[in-house]
Amino acid sequence: MSFRRINALLLRYLLLYRQSWTRIMEIFFWPVMDLLVWGFLTAYLLKIGSNNVPALITFLIGSMIFWDLLYRAQQSVTISFLEDVWARNLLNIFVAPVTVSEFLTATFALGVIKVLVNGLVLALLAWLLYAFNIFQLGFTLIPFVLSLMLMGWAMGMVTVALIMRWGHAAEALAWGIPFLVQPLSAVFYPVSVLPVWLQPIAWALPSTYVFEGMRQVLATGIVPWHMFWWSLGLNAVYLIAAAVFFRYMFGVVREKGLLAKLGME
């Protein structure tokens, strides 16, 4: 892998933001809107519930922020790829001496930047508007966020592989796939709420351990490290599986001439 080429690809994505206010707004608009909705809902529940609703309900804001970080990590991979498809620039990239791993690494790096920027803005807004301090999770925040990013990258690779294979018809997956796992990830409620037969599926997702872990930290102040290690282990499995799937699909796409078709349509 060449750092120079990864840097050039990353620059290409960052320059897009420098020259487009709409793109910059897009990064913040939806998360901020989500934060407002969940924040005000939390404030309302606290108000009407008085003693019946625990103060822990503020975890909804933390869940929303964490969910957005996972979503941004996935989007950084898929939307970067789609930007090249939409610009009909895909062939320029893939007929240059760029390897698939360099291309993916550049999108991962973009994901890190987006997650950092988004996370800080949302954390600041949550603190200012709702006095919710996500940093009460302390340094445990970092591994949990890292775990969400890894899962986002794995989902991003699978999504891009599917778009390469099935073309423009599959573009909607870029936004849809994260929401397939959201109900099972126990983002806004504990796994115990799910039907018993769904719970093993939920525990097979790395994100579930992060959200359950976050709630435990907020409730008890104790970090359930075993949850983190489980999420990390599962992420390793998912990342390897996603990379294998991506490589296989890339081979199919080259065999069928679909990359060229996608890049020229």
What whole-number distance in Å separates Cα of residue 156 and Cα of residue 242?
A: 9
Binding region for other proteins (CB under 8 A) out of 15-23, 39-47, 69-77, 187-195: 15-23
**DSSP string of the chain, one letter each residue:** --HHHHHHHHHHHHHHHHT-HHHHHHHHHHHHHHHHHHHHHHHHHHHHHTTSS-GGGGHHHHHHHHHHHHHHHHHHHHHHHHHHHHTT-HHHHHTTT--HHHHHHHHHHHHHHHHHHHHHHHHHHHHHHH---GGGGGGGHHHHHHHHHHHHHHHHHHHHHHHHHHGGGGTTHHHHHHHHHTTTTTSSS-GGGS-GGGHHHHHTSHHHHHHHHHHHHHHHS---HHHHHHHHHHHHHHHHHHHHHHHHHHHHHHHHTHHHHHHH-
Least separation in angstroms between residue 246's CB and other proteins is 16
Amino acid at 206: P
- By CB under 8 A, the count of residues binding other proteins is 35
Q: How far is the CB of 13 from other proteins (least distance, A)?
A: 9
How far is the C-alpha of 209 from the C-alpha of 139, rounded, in Å? 17
> Residue 165 — φ and ψ, nearest 5°?
-75, -45
Asked if residue 240 binds other proteins (CB under 8 A), the reply is no
Among 30, 44, 49, 92, contact with other proteins (rule: CB under 8 A): 92
Stretch that binds other proteins, among 5-13, 57-65, 149-157, 217-225 (CB under 8 A): 5-13
Applying CB under 8 A, the span of 66-74, 89-97, 134-142, 215-223 interacting with other proteins comes to 89-97
State yes or no: residue 21 binds other proteins (CB under 8 A).
no
Q: Among 37, 56, 95, 120, indicate the residue that binds other proteins (CB under 8 A).
A: 95
Contact segment (CB under 8 A) with other proteins among 34-42, 61-69, 82-90, 199-207 equals 82-90
| Pick 85 or 151: Cβ nearer other proteins | 85
91 binds other proteins (CB under 8 A): yes
Which of 81, 211 has the CB closer to other proteins? 81
Residue range at the interface with other proteins (CB under 8 A); choices 28-36, 95-103, 153-161, 166-174: 95-103
Q: Is 116 in the site for other proteins (CB under 8 A)?
A: no
Beta carbon nearer to other proteins, 102 or 212: 102
Q: Is 101 in the site for other proteins (CB under 8 A)?
A: no
Enumerate binding residues for other proteins (CB under 8 A).
Answer: 4-5, 7-9, 11-12, 15-16, 19-20, 83-84, 87-99, 251, 254-257, 259-260, 263-264
